[in-house]
Homo-oligomer: A and B are copies of this chain.
Amino acid sequence: MLSEFSLIDRFFARRAARMRAAGSAHGDGVKDVEDASRGATLGIGDDCALIAPPAGEMLAISTDMLVEGRHFFADVDPHALGHKALAVNLSDLAAMGAKPQAFTLAFALPRADEAWLAAFSDGLFELAERFGCELIGGDTTAGPLNLCITVFGSVPPHVALRRDAARAGDDIWISGTLGDARAALGIARGEWHADAGDAAHLRRALERPEPRVALGLALRGVAHAALDISDGLAGDLMHILERSHMNATVNVDALPRSAALSRLPPEIQRRCTVAGGDDYELCFTAPVHARASIEKVSHNAGLLATRVGTISAPDLAAAVPAITWHDAAGTPLTLTLQGFDHFHAD
């Protein structure tokens, strides 16, 4: 086993080295021990990699572990898995307003299947190359399939998009559309049905989420608080409210959705947009005077940004923050506790 896994290490290391060389050729990825402010000084092959953020910036760091049977199916397309494993980490950088710089990859594999690994690494490196994010180290071992990526980006600390920065009166914005990934899961499970074209669109959202890196960078100094929606809007927005000590009001009918999702029954649209999970869109708050700026920077990032609600100061008597949900007519809606999956009108 050792020699097989050692070969895999070399396979990934070679690919990383090619990317490194290509970066140098473009003149934007020069690796030089004299210059501590650019890229990685030392990548794969030593006890540690050595990196530093540009002068005056900090490293933003996030780690995610993906497990077979929980985060993906055993028969997942390995190219899509390679894409998604890195995409969900880049999404955390986007939510911080950080610029991707590097990542480490640790994984356990039940066996060394070269075709599977080739497709997986293609999916991974295609995304890494697109965002100039260099593989600087990792670990490979035999074991039940498990992927752990730690990603590094750079951001000046004063413009980092934190969860604790929402202010009363802020608009709540959502990038792109919500709910497609959850709809794809429901279709895969046979819970719901869509025609082949819609099902393919929804499945793509589940398998190949696009990290909103350009938007995150453009929101530096414009947005107040931000996060990426990975567990569903209802749960994730609560993280902003808890950290910012604020309340929120959200119009569920304003939540942006794809044409494919719009062709599913309205009840399913609500479940998917409010509590879907695996969206990897940004949820952010910003002052009212920033509306025109946000529409402009979103447009430049090739995305629609949609205002879906408002941040408000909490009731002084309330110990925990609350989200007030309503429909387009202004009728309040109550979210029940069963997995955030069911609504009923009060």
A: residues with CB less than 8 A from B are 33, 36, 41-42, 45-53, 56-65, 67-71, 92-93, 95-96, 98, 104, 106-108, 136-139, 141-144, 146, 148, 150, 152-153, 155, 157-158, 160, 162-164, 226-228, 243
| Known A47-B228, A50-B160: A65·B96 in contact at CB below 8 Å | no
Main secondary structure of the interface of A (DSSP, over half): strand
Contact A48–B67 (Cβ < 8 Å): no
| Alpha-carbon gap, A50 to B60, bound state (A) | 5
Q: Given known contacts A47-B62, A50-B61, A52-B58, what 8 new A-B pairs fall within 8 Å (CB)?
A: A41-B58, A49-B62, A50-B157, A50-B160, A65-B106, A65-B108, A65-B148, A67-B142
Between-chain CB contacts (< 8 Å), 7 pairs:
A48-B62, A48-B93, A51-B61, A52-B58, A63-B137, A67-B142, A68-B143
Copies of this subunit: 2
Nearest chain B CB to A306 CB, angstrom units: 20
List the B side residues contacting A70 at CB < 8 Å. Answer: 141-143
| Alpha-carbon gap, A137 to B65, bound state (A) | 12
| Selected contact of A92 from candidates B48, B56, B143, CB within 8 Å | B48
List the B side residues contacting A65 at CB < 8 Å. Answer: 106-108, 139, 141, 143, 146, 148
| Alpha-carbon gap, A95 to B71, bound state (A) | 35
Contact B52–A146 (Cβ < 8 Å): no
| Selected contact of A141 from candidates B53, B58, B71, CB within 8 Å | B71
| Known A45-B243, A47-B92, A243-B46: A146·B108 in contact at CB below 8 Å | yes
Per CB-CB distance, the 4 closest pairs between chain A and chain B, nearest first, are A67-B143, A48-B60, A148-B148, A65-B106
| Alpha-carbon gap, A95 to B42, bound state (A) | 14
List the B side residues contacting A45 at CB < 8 Å. Answer: 163, 243
| Selected contact of A61 from candidates B56, B136, B144, B164, CB within 8 Å | B136
List the B side residues contacting A51 at CB < 8 Å. Answer: 58-59, 61
| Alpha-carbon gap, A53 to B137, bound state (A) | 19
List the B side residues contacting A160 at CB < 8 Å. Answer: 42, 50
